């Protein structure tokens, strides 16, 4: 029988709902599930060219575009993703596989509230172009197979979290805070633990805060570095309570969301509410930050079978010290740290996850967790584009 040669050096490419740039990870992967091992050789975030970022944010905000513009932007995104893959490899033997998430520009989850039989999720930056430009087999379009079996197509990282971050005794929550926040609840590894994992999108991560900072600085700044600006204000709790009464926060998981809900229109509504109470700019930022922290903790208390013994943060929001402090306070003394302490880069975990999903695709291993996405079954994720 012909020997199957497994790809081990894989590049993961991801741009999330913050649309800040292409998180790129070059990793060495071995094992399959409980023996899965990932070594990060290089990680870099390559910022989008400013005009491309502005265009993507505008499309995410509902701008109508022609088919020609869609095709053009699809391939512009693929081109910068391919460049990211080429740059990350400099000084290393070439990778054998790329897993590219692409750029989400539209996400309509399945669910009775949307009256649609199947969800719809569109990631631009087609894999065929990335494969062609890099000369490396590329797996992309990870969300569609899960959606086809009734899932949300998100979040997809929980299965990777399960094999890289679960513990034999400890209950853990892995909390990603990107543009949108999402959690993976990991019970201790024991009989049936995989089926007891939970995962869902908690709501806004940094998306509203980034919009606020950009608004108050006339576009000069795109985020609140280390949370320093919000830390100089105080949250206005009646507003946080009012915002938390919104339907999304009370929907039971599985559930997913995006900038369609927690995007520019939502931000202007928040701003209007803040103006009604005459809040200062630092107080607006502190109140919006509090919504992120409170929506995360509120969802744990409402939906988890038990509170975690430890929360491990990842994504850019983990670097917002004020947000981290607010999480610690709201979680009563549950320790909040980052996945870095477990040896997994918090900045590149999502990019690493899409490298692992591509590797699993190559091995024919399912990538979704039906408990997290709501799919009817486990499925192998992604479409492979060769040369």
Nearer to ligand ATP, 17 or 368 (CB): 17
Number of residues that bind ligand ATP (CB under 6 A): 23
253 binds ligand AH0 (CB under 6 A): no
Look at the alpha carbons of 164, 198, 57, 327 in this order and tell me if their dihedral is positive or negative. negative
Question: Tokens in use for 266?
Answer: 């939502």
153 is in an annotated binding site: no
- Cis previous bond, 254, omega within 30: yes
H or E element in which residue 362 lies: helix 349-363
227 binds ligand ATP (CB under 6 A): yes
The DSSP result for 99-130, as a single string, is EEEEEEEEEE--BGGGTBSS-EEEEES-HHHH
Compute CA 231 distance to the chain's CA centroid, rounded to the nearest angstrom. Answer: 25
| Rg for the chain, CA atoms, rounded | 20
Interface map 102-131 toward ligand AH0 (x if CB under 6 A): --x--x-------------x----------
Nearer to ligand AH0, 57 or 180 (CB): 180
Compute CA 282 distance to the chain's CA centroid, rounded to the nearest angstrom. Answer: 27
Number of residues that bind ligand AH0 (CB under 6 A): 17
184 binds ligand ATP (CB under 6 A): no
Interface map 162-191 toward ligand AH0 (x if CB under 6 A): --------------x-x-x-x---------
Binding partner of residue 258 among ligand ATP, ligand AH0, none, CB under 5 to 8 Å per kind?
A: ligand AH0
In order of 13, 127, 140, 208, 286, the CA distances from 103 in angstroms are 10, 12, 11, 19, 29
320 binds ligand ATP (CB under 6 A): yes
Q: Who contacts 97 (Cβ-Cβ below 8 Å, separation ≥6)?
A: 7, 9, 10, 11, 136, 137, 138, 139, 355, 358, 359, 362
| Among positions 8, 96, 214, 226, the unique one binding ligand ATP when judged by CB under 6 A | 226
- Scanning 152-160, 239-247, 272-280, 283-291 for contacts with ligand AH0 by CB under 6 A, the matching segment is 152-160
Question: Tokens in use for 26?
Answer: 């070059």
157 binds ligand AH0 (CB under 6 A): yes
Question: Tokens in use for 287?
Answer: 């109140």
Binding site for ligand AH0 (CB under 6 A): 16-17, 104, 107, 121, 154-157, 176, 178, 180, 182, 201, 256, 258, 350
Binding site for ligand ATP (CB under 6 A): 16-18, 20, 23, 176, 178-180, 205-206, 210, 223-227, 315-317, 319-320, 350
């Amino acid at each position: 029988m012909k020997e199957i040669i497994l790809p081990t050096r894989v590049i993961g490419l991801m741009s999330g709902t913050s649309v800040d740039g292409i998180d790129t990870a070059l990793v060495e992967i071995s094992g399959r599930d409980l023996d899965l091992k990932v070594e990060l050789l290089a990680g870099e975030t390559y910022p989008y060219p400013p005009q491309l970022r502005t265009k993507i944010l505008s499309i995410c905000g509902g701008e109508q575009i022609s088919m020609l513009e869609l095709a053009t932007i699809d391939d512009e995104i693929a081109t910068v993703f391919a460049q990211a893959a080429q740059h990350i490899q400099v000084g290393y033997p070439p990778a054998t596989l790329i897993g590219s998430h692409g750029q989400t520009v539209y996400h309509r989850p399945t669910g009775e509230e949307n009256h649609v039989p199947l969800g719809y999720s569109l990631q631009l930056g087609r894999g065929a172009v990335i494969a062609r430009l890099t000369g490396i087999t590329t797996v992309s379009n990870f969300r569609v197979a899960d959606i086809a079996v009734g899932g949300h197509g998100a979040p997809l990282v929980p299965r990777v979290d399960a094999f890289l971050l679960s513990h034999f005794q400890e209950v853990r929550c892995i909390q990603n805070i990107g543009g949108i926040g999402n959690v993976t609840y990991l019970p201790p590894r024991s009989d049936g633990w995989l089926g007891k994992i939970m995962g869902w999108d908690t709501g806004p991560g940094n998306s509203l805060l980034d919009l606020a900072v950009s608004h108050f600085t006339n576009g000069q700044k795109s985020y609140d570095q280390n949370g320093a600006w919000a830390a100089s204000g105080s949250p206005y709790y009646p507003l946080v309570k009012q915002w938390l009464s919104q339907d999304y926060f009370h929907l039971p998981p599985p559930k997913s969301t995006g900038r369609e809900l927690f995007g520019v229109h939502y931000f202007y509504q928040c701003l209007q509410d803040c103006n009604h109470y005459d809040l200062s700019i630092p107080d607006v930022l502190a109140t919006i930050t509090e919504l992120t922290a409170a929506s995360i903790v509120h969802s744990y208390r409402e939906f988890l079978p038990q509170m975690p013994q430890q929360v491990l943060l990842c994504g850019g929001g983990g670097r917002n010290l004020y947000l981290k402090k607010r999480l610690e306070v709201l979680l009563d003394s549950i320790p909040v740290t980052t996945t870095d302490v477990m040896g997994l880069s918090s900045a590149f975990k999502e990019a690493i996850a899409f490298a692992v999903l591509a590797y699993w695709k190559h091995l024919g291993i399912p990538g979704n967790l039906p408990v997290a996405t709501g799919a009817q079954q486990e499925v192998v994720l992604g479409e492979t584009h060769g040369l």
